[in-house]
């Protein structure tokens, strides 16, 4: 089979790698590819990507490289918990993109922008659109601001003590504008130091004012922090897709990654989900369609998670604290079912399981009638919204699974 992959973020690169590994001929296009003396290389990725290793297929655990892996990931809601027995890794972007290129002569990279996605124009059997999505005013988006420092100041962490890896710290940051929208602290070891990132999980607020707010909150949370070697800003829509990846080929074109709805609407994670789904997409390309039960299950999973994202946008800080305190009290397999996978029934069971914590969950559900009505009438975006190109990569954490 001969396919074209258009867009080489992590999802497109994973797809091109796996297709070439099957012996298919793959032409992959991205204007951000690098031309070097060794040939054309995959684009440099600028976001931080984190994944739960148990959500990856075996082949991906061998191909993806990690700059750090922790088995003691903390959450604060505000009570402290450790997400035990779930190793969490931060992707080494440079080493990973080199590994993904090493598949022999079946993969050809092109530093070129593609506007005509028809198979005839590119001389292939099928085109897979991995270019991401267009952000619009009023969309639900994740926004984060982070800094990388060599180590914590001694007033916060002794040089000998390891800096804990934190998945979500929902304790209030304090400082100016600390109320709404709520945000949490994310902490991970990355190349060159430790990333401290203040993240708004999902919001409809515009990006620029929120980045300024997050920078102030991070400074208030970590007073006296000095010696930053890098900064990171994250902003991407979580409620947009071209269409579901599971819908198959239309006019010779399939979709994958963010374009196919593989960005988790309620967390922003996408890298692990793309890795876990890529072989199913390749099988779809071979056979022409997925079984209807698989299509229905994937569609239900997406809609249920989108419903969750809508509720998060309506919640204040104390409400989200209580909700996530209940969520992280669930058995690990229930948490995993909501965070990863394309099984709508398992997502629904996790949502139902939260009913055992009514005092913590009911405030989160108060906007339920309004949210259901808005989703039913399609009123999630203001009329006349303008369009702009948004970042389409995610961290694989809530800056990135």
Question: Which pTM value belongs to this model?
Answer: 0.89
Q: Is the confidence at residue 11, as pLDDT, over 80?
A: yes
* Distance, CA of 362 to CA of 344 (rounded, Å): 22
Overall average pLDDT of the 351-368 stretch: 93
Overall average pLDDT of the 105-126 stretch: 95
CA distances from 71 to 21, 63, 96, 181 (A): 31, 20, 21, 30
* Distance, CA of 51 to CA of 10 (rounded, Å): 13
* 3-class DSSP state of 324: helix
Instruction: Identify whether 380 is part of a domain.
Output: yes
Can you state the percent helix, strand and coil of the chain, rounding each to 5? Answer: 35, 25, 40
Instruction: Identify whether 356 is part of a domain.
Output: yes
pLDDT band for 158, please (50, 70, 90 cuts).
very low
Q: Is the confidence at residue 390, as pLDDT, over 90?
A: no
pLDDT at 155: 44
Instruction: Identify whether 140 is part of a domain.
Output: no
Token pair of 149 as six digits = 């420092």
Overall average pLDDT of the 275-299 stretch: 96
The 10s digit of each residue's pLDDT in 221-230 is 988 877 888 9
* Distance, CA of 17 to CA of 104 (rounded, Å): 10
* 3-class DSSP state of 237: strand
Instruction: Identify whether 178 is part of a domain.
Output: no
pLDDT at 178: 55
Q: Is the confidence at residue 276, as pLDDT, over 80?
A: yes
Overall average pLDDT of the 338-356 stretch: 95
The 10s digit of each residue's pLDDT in 131-145 is 999 888 889 999 999
pLDDT at 36: 86
Q: Which of 86-90, 318-322, 391-395 has the lowest mean pLDDT?
A: 391-395
pLDDT at 391: 36
Instruction: Identify whether 362 is part of a domain.
Output: yes
Q: What is the total count of domains within the chain?
A: 1
pLDDT at 376: 74
Instruction: Identify whether 360 is part of a domain.
Output: yes
Overall average pLDDT of the 366-386 stretch: 64
Q: Are strands 193-203 and 184-190 parallel, antiparallel or unpaired?
A: antiparallel
Instruction: Identify whether 341 is part of a domain.
Output: yes
pLDDT at 161: 52
For all residues of the chain together, what is the average pLDDT?
A: 88
Q: Which of 78-87, 183-192, 260-269, 356-365 has the lowest mean pLDDT?
A: 78-87
Instruction: Identify whether 364 is part of a domain.
Output: yes
Structural domain of residue 298, as residue ranges?
292-386
pLDDT band for 318, please (50, 70, 90 cuts).
very high
Overall average pLDDT of the 241-254 stretch: 96
* Distance, CA of 242 to CA of 229 (rounded, Å): 37
pLDDT band for 394, please (50, 70, 90 cuts).
very low
Q: Is the confidence at residue 281, as pLDDT, over 70?
A: yes
Do residues 3 and 249 lie in contact, with contact meaning Cβ atoms separated by under 8 Å? Answer: no
Helices (H), 314-353: 317-327, 332-339, 344-353
Q: Is the confidence at residue 191, as pLDDT, over 70?
A: yes
């Amino acid at each position: 089979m001969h396919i074209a992959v258009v867009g080489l973020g992590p999802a497109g690169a994973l797809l091109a790698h796996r297709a070439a590994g099957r012996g298919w001929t793959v032409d992959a296009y991205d204007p951000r590819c690098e031309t070097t003396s060794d040939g054309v290389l995959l684009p440099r990725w600028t976001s931080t990507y984190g994944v739960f290793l148990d959500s990856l297929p075996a082949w991906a655990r061998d191909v993806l490289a990690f700059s750090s892996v922790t088995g003691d990931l903390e959450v604060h809601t505000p009570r402290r918990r450790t997400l035990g027995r779930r190793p969490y890794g931060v992707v080494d972007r440079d080493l990973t993109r080199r590994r993904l290129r090493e598949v022999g002569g079946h993969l050809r990279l092109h530093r070129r922008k593609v506007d005509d996605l028809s198979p005839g124009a590119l001389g292939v059997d099928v085109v897979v659109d991995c270019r991401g999505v267009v952000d619009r005013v009023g969309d639900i988006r994740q926004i984060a601001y982070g800094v990388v420092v060599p180590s914590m100041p001694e007033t916060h962490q002794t040089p000998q003590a390891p800096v804990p890896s934190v998945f979500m710290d929902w304790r209030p940051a304090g400082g100016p504008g600390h109320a709404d929208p709520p945000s949490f602290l994310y902490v991970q070891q990355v190349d060159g130091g430790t990333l401290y990132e203040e993240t708004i999980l999902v919001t409809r607020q515009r990006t620029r004012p929120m980045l300024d707010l997050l920078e102030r909150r991070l400074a208030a949370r970590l007073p006296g922090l000095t010696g930053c070697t890098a900064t990171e800003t994250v902003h991407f829509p979580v409620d947009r897709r071209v269409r579901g990846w599971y819908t198959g080929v239309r006019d010779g074109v399939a979709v994958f990654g963010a374009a196919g709805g593989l960005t988790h609407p309620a967390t922003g994670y996408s890298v692990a989900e793309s890795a876990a789904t890529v072989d199913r997409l390749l099988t779809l390309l071979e056979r022409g369609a997925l079984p209807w039960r698989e299509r229905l299950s994937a569609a239900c999973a997406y809609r249920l998670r989108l419903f969750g994202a809508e509720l998060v946008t309506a919640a204040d800080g104390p409400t989200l604290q209580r909700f996530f305190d209940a969520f992280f009290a669930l058995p690990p397999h229930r948490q995993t079912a909501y965070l990863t996978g394309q099984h709508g029934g398992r997502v629904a069971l996790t949502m139902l399981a939260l009913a055992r914590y009514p005092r913590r969950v009911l405030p989160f559900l108060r906007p339920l009638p309004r949210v259901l009505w808005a989703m039913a009438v399609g009123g999630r975006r203001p009329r006349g919204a303008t369009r702009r190109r948004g970042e389409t990569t995610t961290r694989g954490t809530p800056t990135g699974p």
